[in-house]
Amino acid sequence: MSYRSPSEPDFPGRIGRFLADSEPHWPAAPTAKGAPNVVLVVLDDTGFAHLGCYGSTIETPNIDRLAAEGLRYSGFHTTALCSSSRACLLTGRNHHAVGVRAVSNMDTGFPNTRGAISPAAATVAEVLRDGGFATCAVGKWHLAPMAEATAAGPFRNWPLQKGFDRFYGFLQGETDQFHPELTCDNHFIDQPKTPQEGYHVSEDLVDRSIDWIRDQVSLVPERPFFLYLAFGAMHAPHQAPKAFREKYRGRFDAGWDAARDAWFARQKAMGVVPADTELAPRNPGVKPWNELSDKEQRFACRLQEAFAAMLDHTDQQIGRLVSFLQEIGVYDDTLFVLVSDNGASQEGGQLGTMDEMKHFNMMPEDLDAAMARLDDIGGPDSHSNIPWGWAQAGNTPLKWYKQNTHGGGVRDPLIVRWPGGVKDPGAIRTQFCHAIDIAPTILEVAGLAAPETFAGVPQIPVHGVSLRASFADPKAPVSRSVQYFEMLGHRGLWQDGWKAVTHHTSGVPFDKDDWELYHLDADFSESRDLAAEQPGRLKALVEAWWSEAEANGALPLDERGMAELFRASRRPGLPTSRRRFVYYPPVSHIVSDASPSVFRGWRMTVELDHVAGGDGALVSRGSLNSGFVLYVKNGRLAFDYNAFHDHTLVTAPSPLAPGGRRVELSVDRQPDASGKVTLAVDGETVATGTIPLMLMIISSLGMDIGRSPRPVSDDIVTPFVYPGRIRKVTFDLPQAPPELERRSREAELAAALSRQ
């Protein structure tokens, strides 16, 4: 007689009463034996021309080596923003269809803008993991709604729930490279060493990647691995070790016009662009270099030097990873893919910025102040971004930038190295392709197929197609005839070598947008608008755009302004919908999107058991570039509000007495945007002060209680752990006047977009 197993009712062996009457059976384990390892490297905000092998004079020898041993694609396209491009890369589907229209910070209540990948679109990591691969994500994630990115979750959109066995990196769209917000698997951690000890997050990410790969090939060499390595570079802040910054001193003194011309000439000589390509016209707002003042030129040069230093430093980290793969003998058994997620960023503004958050607080850059701090740029004391002129040079020969659906926003580098498939290393492929093609390519190389159902959920059909045939055949067709684009109202459609595109202006009705027409097969840089010559073709392409938009869930087009869009994302149940926050320390680090929004002022109560000599931070938010910290030093209570290195320090005159204390901090915003500060202990005011200007966006970095892991104030040394017991911290937020609410929402969304 044979018996059934409750856990395996279809057990193919035999279960008898006794072992002698039974036959064992082991289910076949998923195996990808013979499949290559896969490394997918994603750079942020890196324009078409920024890499040396795509034309620039910035030194990227390790990336250039990958290109020399593999392929460069000149027709690779993305979505123009970060979260959305990454959703395409990891799922093989168009971004609206999977719920990531723009940024993961937004959920406007429509299926195309959930800020997270739909369960109906399994990631390539999920498919590879179930097919026998080990999987690891390292670096930037930004595919979970940021209000969910707390120690309390929910974790459904974190990397470990999206197919990755391990995760080490940061959940936000940007981070300080010297003082990052780090997450390991499902919990927040401190950085392993200080900047003074040589810390930089790009080096840390590659260290962790190497450690993970070493474990895999040492312990389970039979199992191939998939490493998704997404650097914070080249997103602002542009920060690199001092030696790299000094290396580029003076290299860009000739200005962005000369660099753009030189890079364009290099592109033609390399064959990265066709010989008859025209250099796109100067973008609106970009002045000729010789029309800038001396101060503007010096500031712009130093910002570009920091960008170049960061890219060079990132290239060296990629070189370390490659060297390790060689050392352990798996380099030639690895499909190595490197992409950028969108074009060069326009968030630095016309002049560039010492601190990007200043730009998004709608504060003009003070060039005189910047001149006094030129040597800070690129180091821990700055949060810089390049001006439009240098971003346009990075997108050579294309027009517009990140966020836009013209070439400067969506045409990006793609490098593929795989000795097992590439037959003509160093060659260039010109086929039109898209971020949605990367996942199908990886799956075909791995010998796996995207499932029709995953975890019980019927799957959206994969929109991308595999590029594997193009590895060996330069003329291999990519089986796609059409690809739509939509980002923040900017729209475009490529079809059979032609492209219709429009640069949308907020406030202008969509049906009044001015559409342009380009024959991309003959006009690489979108320089010759044929709309007036071929109105019939343009009309057909615009109509096709509407069809593709409907089919891929890109509708409704959303004409609401920044304030309305962000307000629409503040649904009940999220931290941003609350006006009271109560914490019971110790609690984990709190990301900025889940921290109290203090632009309107706030009242904070800290209930603690103070000990004599108990110096330390009570509540700390932000970084040394902007933020605030309430702390005890030399026994005295103090509050420092840091507005881009302009500090307001309020200090009690006498020491805080030991014992149970109730500390209250009130910051009352005034009509002139100043802030009245009141410090009280046990109901009695002990100090007052005035913040000259309260920020709308205080920092992209979050909050800690009982410590300050990032140096917000010059008066403290990290981590400045408070030795007493903090029993409870309460934030109470007032209702903001409508105009202040509108300005804050605009600034917050602008800052969220900057973190793409």
Token pair 């002139």 in the structure block, residue: 672
Kindly tell me the sign of the dihedral angle through the C-alpha atoms of 694, 700, 706, 710: negative
- List the one residue out of 65, 64, 67, 99 whose CA is nearest residue 84: 99
Q: Which two tokens stand for residue 592?
A: 């900025």
Residue 593 has a pLDDT of 85
Residue 736 has a pLDDT of 65
The widest CA-to-CA distance across the chain, in whole angstroms, is: 94
Token pair 């309430």 in the structure block, residue: 630
Q: How confident is the model at residue 755 (pLDDT cuts 50, 70, 90)?
A: very low
CB 388 within 8 A of CB 47: no
Distance CA 524, CA 595 (A): 45
* DSSP letter, residue 153: -
Torsion of CA 556, 562, 568, 569, to 10 degrees: 100
Distance CA 632, CA 620 (A): 12
Distance CA 255, CA 257 (A): 6
Residue 29 has a pLDDT of 80
Strands 427-429 and 71-73: parallel
Q: Which two tokens stand for residue 142?
A: 């930004």
- At a CB cut-off of 8 Å and minimum separation 6, what does 147 contact? 574, 575, 576, 593, 594
CB 634 within 8 A of CB 650: no
Q: Is 82 part of the annotated catalytic residue set?
A: yes
CB 431 within 8 A of CB 477: yes
The continuous run of DSSP H or E covering 728 comes out as strand 725-732
Q: What is the pLDDT of residues 70-129, one digit of tens each?
A: 999 999 999 999 999 999 999 999 999 999 999 888 888 899 999 999 999 999 999 999
Distance CA 721, CA 705 (A): 9
Q: Which of 50, 77, 96, 142 is catalytic?
A: 142
R_g of the chain, CA atoms, integer Å:
27
Token pair 């209680």 in the structure block, residue: 705
- List the one residue out of 192, 194, 137, 183 whose CA is nearest residue 163: 137
Whether pLDDT at 559 is above 50: yes
Q: Which of 82, 88, 136, 433 is catalytic?
A: 82
- Measured in degrees and rounded to the nearest 5, phi and psi for residue 596 equal -60, 135
* DSSP letter, residue 242: H
Strands (E) located in 213-341? 225-230, 334-340
- List the one residue out of 286, 280, 258, 253 whose CA is nearest residue 352: 286
Distance CA 70, CA 415 (A): 7
Distance CA 77, CA 553 (A): 19
Mean pLDDT of 478-507: 94
Neighbours of 290 (CB within 10 A): 9
Whether pLDDT at 361 is above 90: no
- List the one residue out of 321, 334, 325 whose CA is nearest residue 446: 334
Whether pLDDT at 416 is above 80: yes
Distance CA 267, CA 279 (A): 11
Specify the range with the lowest mean pLDDT, choosing from 212-216, 312-316, 397-401, 693-697: 693-697
Distance CA 450, CA 443 (A): 7
Q: Is 535 helix (H, G, I), strand (E, B) or coil?
A: helix
CB 412 within 8 A of CB 46: yes
CA angle at residue 431 from 427 to 435, to 5 degrees? 105
Q: Is 458 helix (H, G, I), strand (E, B) or coil?
A: strand
Q: What is the pLDDT of residues 269-289, one digit of tens each?
A: 999 999 999 999 999 999 999
Sheet bearing 646-651, strands edge to edge: 646-651, 636-643, 626-633, 616-622, 703-705
CB 525 within 8 A of CB 397: yes
Residue 32 has a pLDDT of 83
**For the range 446-449, what are the long-range contacts, defined as Cβ-Cβ under 8 Å and sequence gap of 24 or more?**
446/32, 446/35, 446/36, 446/38, 446/128, 446/131, 446/133, 446/224, 447/32, 447/34, 447/35, 447/131, 448/32, 448/127, 448/128, 448/131
Mean pLDDT of the residues in the chain: 94
Whether pLDDT at 357 is above 70: yes
Distance CA 391, CA 349 (A): 10
Distance CA 230, CA 228 (A): 6
Residue 507 has a pLDDT of 83
* DSSP letter, residue 519: E
Amino acid, res. 331: Y
Whether pLDDT at 565 is above 90: no
C-alpha distances out from residue 607 to 318, 603, 680, 721, 732, Å: 48, 13, 12, 16, 14
- At a CB cut-off of 8 Å and minimum separation 6, what does 735 contact? 579, 600
The continuous run of DSSP H or E covering 426 comes out as none
Q: Is 521 helix (H, G, I), strand (E, B) or coil?
A: coil
Q: Is 142 part of the annotated catalytic residue set?
A: yes
The β-bridge partners of 641 are 628, 648
Whether pLDDT at 36 is above 70: yes
The β-bridge partners of 639 are 630, 650
> Which class for 281: exposed (0-12), middle (13-18), buried (19 or more C-beta within 10 A)?
exposed
Token pair 């390595």 in the structure block, residue: 229
Distance CA 433, CA 465 (A): 9
Instruction: Give the predicted TM-score (pTM) of the model.
Output: 0.95
Distance CA 274, CA 35 (A): 36
Specify the range with the lowest mean pLDDT, choosing from 30-39, 158-167, 648-657, 699-708: 30-39
The Cβ-side half-sphere exposure at 645, using a 13 Å CA radius, reads 13
Buried b / exposed e across 176-198, counting CB within 10 Å, b at 16+? bbbbbbbbeeeebeebeeebeee
DSSP letters, 200-233, are -HHHHHHHHHHHHHHHHHHH-TTS-EEEEEE-ST
**For the range 504-511, what are the long-range contacts, defined as Cβ-Cβ under 8 Å and sequence gap of 24 or more?**
506/559, 506/561, 507/559, 507/561, 509/559, 510/557, 510/559
The β-bridge partners of 627 are 622, 642
Whether pLDDT at 562 is above 80: no
Q: Which domains does the chain have, with CATH numbers?
A: 37-249+271-472 (3.40.720.10), 482-559 (3.30.1120.10), 580-734 (2.60.120.200)
